[in-house]
Amino acid sequence: MSHFHAHDVLVIGSGAAGLSLALQLASHAKVAVLCKSELNEGATYWAQGGIAAVLHKNDSIDAHVSDTLNAGAQLCHEDAVRFTVEHSSASIDWLLAQGVQFSRFDNDSNELHLTREGGHSQRRIIHAADATGRAVSTTLSTKAKEHHNIEIFNRHVAIDLVVRDGRCHGAYVLNRDSGHVELFHARASVLATGGANKAYLYTSNPDGATGDGIAMAWRAGCRVANMEFNQFHPTCLYHPKAKSFLITEAIRGEGGKLLNAKGERFMQRYDERGELAPRDVVARAIDHEMKRLGSDCVYLDISHKSSEFLLEHFPTIKARCLELGIDISREAIPVVPAAHYTCGGVMVDQRGRSDVEGLYAIGETAFTGLHGANRLASNSLLECLVYGGAAAADINSRLDDLSAPLIAPPWDESMVTDSDEDVIISHNWDELRRFMWDYVGIVRTDKRLQRALNRAALLQQEIAEYYSNYKVSNDLLELRNLAMVAELIIRSAMQRKESRGLHYTLDYPATLPTAQDTVLVPDNYGHQSTS
């Protein structure tokens, strides 16, 4: 093994959750931040819409809480919702203090511009035009790079957590440049790796969204909850050259209309709120219209707005569409649903603590109870900030009590060889994403889920054999994690004998009177010792 690293806190992931936590810890602790590739390549950077927060005099905490509970189909934990919303204003103040430049009403006004998205009863989405994630990510990245107590490790991929006697002591990490596995020791470790939406064929997420933190936590003995609730964003740009390009929900918030292949509006047939219905309703409606008419996509029309308005509010989308020959001021945008957000995850409390001592999970990796059966638009970045802050405060308060980590043995590479069969990885990756899309997508059945579970089991056997015999690589690690998380999604979906929120099954179309979380418990829960 080429390197050994020791820090007070190890942060696995460099999005809004990981960086906000790191910055709030760095005045008291030495922090390592791992990036799978480079800074600003995660899901935060590509988030277009904004951050939901109670900032306007006409808005209220109760209204935001109510909207979140309604979107979550009675499955949200009200204490988590209220905790998050009550800290929304302070989180925005913290971002403003870091220097994030949010949109204002005009150049002469200091009033923040708020937009509205589906499921919200008020305009409460603070944004930076249509590139909020970029503004947040670049600002926090710059701050982190400048901080003397934060050490950033680009192109470092966590393999597994080091757990002894029920406590996390750090992680084994692949250095993608050297090809060697390094050991990172820490008093506290934080999973901030995002979601698992690359498990699906069509996704709005960047390549790194492979469920790494969820899979590592499960192998370490942590429970996961509500993995069946995968949010499909209704409007991903449909174009062969537009890889994963999202068309923000704010376009519908500003009056965009959905049209089917015949040029007809259809949302009012599915929900009285029309285009402003929650995402699961809109995604299912689009899916139904596409199947009903045999079309490859539907269309989102905002061309009735002026070119100046579109340039001011949606410059990124306008420019990208123009590159592809689509003038959104004159014609409708072709769109399809795409896997977008993982509502379930690693079970944590309001401090971000997981089932394993010294291990935290925040952001999309975590299950806090905020999102219930369907995430309300723009609550995700808010959750990253609120729980990033809460976990940082908890770690700061107990850092001295978290004993120095045990010295773990080095990674043993003596019995493995370089692979000459990488085609197996790419083939299995493609197969996994296709059967997840076909069998575990927007509409499900028991038969489809059983087929998917059978395929996932066979796939994991092949991956385990490959993992045992060959040196690890980024692609292999991602495939291993995706296959693990795919099984968790399928098993969770099979346990839910109803349709609720994002989980819709033809076999159980009704919603049960009592809402219950789906909790999966690993075999080593309560007596963890891994790696």
DSSP 12-38: E--SHHHHHHHHHHTTTS-EEEE-SSS
Average pLDDT, the chain: 92
Residues designated as active site: 279
213-223 per-residue burial string, b: 16 or more CB within 10 A, e: under 16: bbbbbbbbbbb
| Domain boundaries for CATH 1.20.58.100 within the chain | 423-506
pLDDT at residue 415, as a whole number: 66
What pLDDT, on a 0 to 100 scale, did the predictor assign at position 431? Answer: 95
Q: Which CATH class is domain 4-229+343-398?
A: alpha beta
pLDDT of residue 206: 83
What is the per-residue pLDDT for 508? 98
At 98, list the tokens. Answer: 């870091």
The predicted-structure confidence for 218-234, as pLDDT tens digits, reads as follows 999 999 999 999 999 88
| pLDDT value at residue 105 | 77
Alpha-carbon torsion (413, 215, 234, 447), positive or negative: positive
At the topology level of CATH, where does 423-506 sit?
Answer: Methane Monooxygenase Hydroxylase; Chain G, domain 1 (1.20.58)
Q: How far is residue 79's CA from residue 507's CA, in Å, rounded to a whole number? A: 32
Q: Given this model, what pLDDT does residue 153 score?
A: 97
pLDDT at 319: 94
Full 3-state SS string of 465-512: HHHHHECCCHHHHHHHHHHHHHHHHHHHHHHCCCCECCECECCCCCCC
Domain with CATH 3.50.50.60 in the chain: 4-229+343-398
Within the chain, which residue ranges are assigned CATH 3.90.700.10? Answer: 234-339
The string of pLDDT tens digits covering residues 129-187 is 878 888 999 999 999 999 999 999 999 999 999 999 889 999 999 999 999 999 999 99
Note the CATH architecture for domain 234-339: Alpha-Beta Complex (3.90)
pLDDT tens, position by position, 467-489 = 888 889 999 999 999 999 999 99
Q: What is the largest CA-CA distance in the chain?
A: 67
Q: Look at residue 483 in the predicted model and tell me its pLDDT.
A: 97
How sure is the predictor about 1, in pLDDT bands with cuts at 50, 70 and 90? very low
Confidence of residue 531 (pLDDT cuts 50, 70, 90): very low
Residue type, 202: Y
- Which one is predicted more confidently, 383 or 400? 383
Q: Which of 77-91, 129-143, 181-195, 344-358 has the lowest mean pLDDT?
A: 129-143
- The pLDDT-based confidence of 38 (bands split at 50, 70, 90) is confident
Q: Which of 123-132, 173-182, 496-505 has the lowest mean pLDDT?
A: 123-132
Instruction: State pLDDT tens for residues 252-298.
Output: 989 999 999 999 999 999 999 999 987 788 988 998 898 899 898 99
What pLDDT score was predicted for residue 528?
53
Give the model confidence (pLDDT) of 385-422 as tens digits. Answer: 999 999 999 999 999 888 777 777 878 776 677 766 67
pTM: 0.90
Residue 336 to residue 298: CA distance in whole angstroms = 7
DSSP characters over 326-377 = --TTTSPEEEEEEEEEE--EEE--TT-B-SSBTEEE-GGGEE-SSSTTSPPT
Q: What percent of the chain has pLDDT over 70?
A: 96
